[in-house]
Amino acid sequence: MFSLFQVSGATRASFPVKTHVEVRTNTQVCTWTQPLRILHSHHQSKVLKFLIQLNVYAERNWKNNFPNCGGQRQSPINIITRKVKHDPKLTSFIFDGHEKVFNMSVENHGHSVAFYCGQPKSVRLRGGGLPATYKAVQFHLHWGENDGQGSEHSVDGERYPMELHIVHIKEKYGSLGDALNDSTGVAVTSGQNKQLDRVIEALGKVRYEGELLFKITCCFLFFISLSIQLSNKLSYHRYLGSLTTPGCDQAVVWTVFQQTLPISKKQLLFGTEKPMTGVFRPVQNLNGRVVYTSVPAHSLCVLPNLIALFLCLFCVFGQQRSFH
């Protein structure tokens, strides 16, 4: 039986980028390294697509190579709204500078596409029970092949076609790597509106793992503004979990917002036309964990039958070296 052990890309200032794939069988280990330009051929791109999909389909075997992936605090989860508990200490968030426009770089990691901010000091996040002020450094997406799947989290069994995470680090740190040495160094948020077209266009230009696009103009506000219009206070759920990609570090305080943001079917079609789809992890067992909410139970509601971008935030407490 085949199991995918690793798919990784090494990006440098000069091209070509090389992609390394390691596949393990019961009797041997096979490695495959090719320059990015070769991966653009029809045959090689199909092989890479198969290997990436194998990594997702073999998610149940991740724990064989990454023990944390079999732990008791894994993410994502299905949130059952009738079982959540109200916590009055979960306050509202303050977004500072998210309306500013920046040049960003875009990179395909094989299991997600990340957008990196060139001026993180200008985009800050505080409140929401966070222990410090954080600055935004990047955002990335998870999506599926149709409008019935794609988000990593689900609410009362309902999944959404896309989920987006905006990664913030503590203001005092110079890089994500520095922040990850702090037990409360990282926080993440997400959202969407019409400017999502710019993001969708960029996704189409980084179709293969390791591809890098420089200087797209973008800002963080369009992922947040509509949700603020929907409610004077962003309502959210809170639970203790993990990263959703190997090594699945159980070091995350998740904040899952109740508000979902609309995305058109036309925008959603980008996922079915690209070689990388289904880039999300299945829901994991709750294993006795408690999910809290920022609003009383009588205020909870889920918007039904919407094509929506799932709105999330999480804080990370641990040593993980990458966010995708």
Which residue shows structure tokens 């797209």? 216
Catalytic site includes residue 98: no
Same domain, 125 and 268: yes
Q: What is the pLDDT of residue 302?
A: 47
Q: What is the pLDDT of residue 185?
A: 56
Q: What is the pLDDT of residues 124-135, one digit of tens each?
A: 778 887 777 878
Terminal-to-terminal C-alpha distance of the chain: 27
The radius of gyration of the chain's CA atoms, rounded to the nearest angstrom, is 19
In DSSP notation, 96-160 reads ESTT-EEEEEEEE-SS-EEEEES-GGG-EEEETT-SS-EEEEEEEEEE-SSTT---SSEETTB--
Q: Could you tell me if residue 16 is inside a domain?
A: yes
Same domain, 125 and 254: yes
Answer with the residue of higher pLDDT: 166 or 66.
Answer: 66
Answer with the residue of higher pLDDT: 318 or 140.
Answer: 140
Mean pLDDT of 256-276: 58
Same domain, 87 and 179: yes
**In the predicted structure, residue 291 carries a pLDDT above the cut 90:** yes
Owning domain of residue 83: 68-316
Answer with the residue of higher pLDDT: 234 or 154.
Answer: 154
Quickly list H helices, the chain. Answer: 36-39, 42-57, 62-65, 176-179, 196-203, 225-230, 265-268
Per the structure, how many domains does the chain have? 2
CB 148 within 8 A of CB 297: no
Same domain, 183 and 276: yes
Answer with the residue of higher pLDDT: 48 or 237.
Answer: 237
Same domain, 261 and 132: yes
Same domain, 36 and 132: no
Separation CA 165–CA 80 (nearest Å) = 21
Separation CA 100–CA 1 (nearest Å) = 50
Same domain, 148 and 291: yes
Cis peptide upstream of residue 76 (ω within 30 degrees of 0): yes
Q: How confident is the model at residue 200 (pLDDT cuts 50, 70, 90)?
A: low
CB 128 within 8 A of CB 233: no
User: Per-residue b/e over 108-145, b at no fewer than 16 CB within 10 Å?
Assistant: bbbbbbbbbbeebeebbbbebbbeebbbbbbbbbbbbe
Same domain, 271 and 297: yes
Q: Could you tell me if residue 48 is inside a domain?
A: yes
Nearest to 125 by CA among 117, 137, 142, 114: 137
Q: Could you tell me if residue 62 is inside a domain?
A: no
Cis peptide upstream of residue 16 (ω within 30 degrees of 0): yes
Q: What is the pLDDT of residue 31?
A: 35
Same domain, 38 and 96: no
Q: Could you tell me if residue 321 is inside a domain?
A: no
Q: Could you tell me if residue 323 is inside a domain?
A: no
Q: What is the pLDDT of residue 309?
A: 45
Q: Could you tell me if residue 271 is inside a domain?
A: yes
Q: Could you tell me if residue 322 is inside a domain?
A: no
Same domain, 17 and 100: no
Q: Which of 109, 111, 153, 165 is catalytic?
A: 111
Nearest to 167 by CA among 220, 99, 102, 209: 220
Answer with the one of 16, 35, 57 that is the final residue of a domain. 57
Q: Give the best-scoring range by mean pLDDT among 71-80, 130-139, 140-149, 250-259.
A: 71-80
Q: Give the best-scoring range by mean pLDDT among 44-53, 113-122, 305-314.
A: 113-122
Same domain, 190 and 239: yes
Q: Could you tell me if residue 63 is inside a domain?
A: no
CB 80 within 8 A of CB 24: no
How many other C-beta atoms lie within 10 A of the C-beta of residue 197? 13
Same domain, 47 and 78: no
Q: How confident is the model at residue 147 (pLDDT cuts 50, 70, 90)?
A: low
Tokens of 26: 């019961």
Q: What is the pLDDT of residues 85-119, one digit of tens each?
A: 999 888 877 777 766 666 677 777 665 667 776 66
